[in-house]
Structure 1
């Protein structure tokens, strides 16, 4: 796939936009297939039991992301434990709820997880929620690893070298979305924006990209987590008569949309990762036809082997079938990377694992490419250096725990109010 620098970012090719930021080249490369184990490690190392916790949204305004993220974690753990006799490493997962900044589930869940003596906590999905407990986690000497945080605030955050994420910064998604809206021929843009680090940060980068392309943002009212009425924001945006509307929200979208139906054309509405959902019969047929949205990661269609295997795993475990797959791959990769780093360090100490996370992601540049846990673990057990290319992409952490390679998928809604990769 072609690679474009910042000035040309946002071009759409079969549902994947390739974005560049600063000196980074972000390529829409293929991920690690279906995540199935294809080889088994040889000689075991010292036995390790790695305990990780999850603080993912079981409740709150991102609760629709909880099932795919937790399923991704469980699927990875099952594959790691399948080869534990060969590697010497077993993983134990303690599940917890992050909630949101309204119900504040994290206030009791994070102390509970830390009390379980975990080496790492996977979560939260929401950047705003992660910022509520990052000091508590990293201050306790525990790794915080998010599969879905996209706020640029984490790039420069003082986290003691203990924060990592498999989702790219919103510098990228904002650039892709802003350029997409402009390329669709829109000259003016209205936005409804969640007032937290995710919402305002993403809105900033959408604005910069759209204005750089010659457009004008004519209204961008915000709302707060826990708000239940959005009449004022909707009225302000509609009064500005924009060509397009970008909805930078979480689950509040289900309350906002009915007020826009009939007042604004669906094919001029744009979604983001925080609200891109398969709504189905939640809304009348055809309500969203032509609407588009962005989601960090390779397109769902391109990782069908992985999602198929995940569906089989979920069914075998007696879990409810998944309706969404957002950030499932990133959650899967987070667990695999933590396990590989622990194996490489020969330790479950969080600081030792953190020191190896860049290495096993390929950030040190001297590892052997591998695409599943068993294959990578075999390299490590054999005395080599593994470079894991994940389901969500190559990942490759930089010195602050941000992935230096990533893709932004672009999707379009059909008549059934579900989304598929945008054909361009």
Structure 2
């Protein structure tokens, strides 16, 4: 049985575009190595084999997120296959693509993965990179699931019912961050600077509103060009506001902003300094202050929780012993598992069919917390409620978590990343 003509035509068109691009440039992706694309892409068949691909950051600003998300994707596939696979067949090795922190590269990678005849794509990591190719994926009738997209933009995005995320919207993270700043630390005058993209603007606004609701004054709420090479003006705006707290919503470029704040006398030893998930990294202190990682001591931040499931963390590290960073690994694992369970529920690897089961397998059924356990319940004709390794998903009709466990983190005097606590947030996203 074939899927829609629309999907087959778009996938074939994507392959043709890639062949043209490769003919002109010799390469697709961030590495500069030649890309391999099939000469022909057959019409997608419902063949009983669930095929996955991913577009995740192997290079670029978010490359530190690549290993945990990629290894967790592979670990989820192994876990599923060890339990008998999907529809009685193993999931093949995933087709891979690098988002590279560049929209053009991310889009080409998505086209290449689509051309590999996949049923679902995991990724991208960055909200902006997903927005660069979401129309190509969902328009082709392929499911897309991200474990780290947090921009509120996706909640109401016209995706035809094919886009999902296991990471919570920043509408859920912002209120927790505001609580840490205004209630835990009693800061009254706050400056917020954020990337000028959907992620930065969305988290800036949700945090600003929550701070003001708690009675704090937001003296600065500014976005900046993340591609800039100099952030002196950003630092100066914060300094001119004379705040007692500064919130930086950034990716890797945030290290330069934090350096500037410290040099301007606005480090965490003088005022409250806060980050979000884009800055949560073991490497941040050494990037900000090489040789003096204690300069970030006392900085705090928030992020979707990634290390609260001890059994999962232990198993993942046994699967991938070299992993250091875990950010968004559990959410990525849950993307893969939810896709697999939806296919089991639909009894089909056709995305047009199993996409309709993605929400249902996460709520209003019998609780189960592994693919194996959930699969057995489905085989017995029961409705399931998959509680993931990242926590209960309880998808809303928009295909995203209706609640989230948010981690509050900090850096100690040695520059080590520590978890202060985790907090459940239900917010306005339900």
Superposition TM-score tier, normalisation by shorter sequence: 0.7 to 0.9
Kept in 2, the 8 Å contact 1:89–1:343? The answer is no
In structure 1, the residue matched to 2:309 is: 303
**More displaced, 381-390 or 163-172?**
381-390
In structure 2, what is the Cα distance between the partners aligned to 1:376 and 1:274?
A: 32
Structure 2 CA distance for partners of 1:240 and 1:344, relative to 1, 3 Å:
same
Deviation at 1:87, TM superposition (A): 5.7
TM-score, structure 2 normalization: 0.82
Kept in 1, the 8 Å contact 2:234–2:257? The answer is no
1:370-411 deviations in Å (ceiling 9; x for gaps): 111111111122322222111001101111101112111111
Instruction: Please state whether the residue corresponding to 1:403 is helix, strand or coil.
Output: coil
Structure 2 CA distance for partners of 1:136 and 1:291, relative to 1, 3 Å:
same
Kept in 1, the 8 Å contact 2:83–2:371? The answer is no
Alignment of 1:333 with 2:334, yes or no, is yes
1:275 to 258, 273, 279: 279
In structure 2, the residue matched to 1:294 is: 302
In structure 2, what is the Cα distance between the partners aligned to 1:132 and 1:334?
A: 20
- Kindly report which structure 2 residues correspond to 1:353-392, keeping only aligned pairs within 5 A, or say none: 353-362=354-363, 365=364, 367-392=365-390
Report which of the two structures shows the higher radius of gyration computed on alpha carbons: 2
RMSD: 1.8
- Kindly report which structure 2 residues correspond to 1:24-423, keeping only aligned pairs within 5 A, or say none: 48-84=48-84, 88-92=88-92, 93-101=94-102, 104-183=104-183, 184-262=185-263, 263-266=265-268, 268-279=272-283, 281-282=286-287, 283=289, 284-297=292-305, 300=307, 302-315=308-321, 321-362=322-363, 365=364, 367-422=365-420
Aligned residues: 368
Kept in 2, the 8 Å contact 1:87–1:378? The answer is no
Kept in 2, the 8 Å contact 1:48–1:90? The answer is no
In structure 2, what is the Cα distance between the partners aligned to 1:336 and 1:86?
A: 10
Deviation at 1:149, TM superposition (A): 0.8
Structure 2 CA distance for partners of 1:205 and 1:361, relative to 1, 3 Å:
same
TM-score, structure 1 normalization: 0.83
Kept in 2, the 8 Å contact 1:220–1:237? The answer is no
In structure 1, what is the Cα distance between the partners aligned to 2:64 and 2:87?
A: 35
Structure 2: 5+ residue stretches without partners: 1-45, 423-430
Relative contact order higher in (CA < 8 Å, ≥ 6 apart): 1
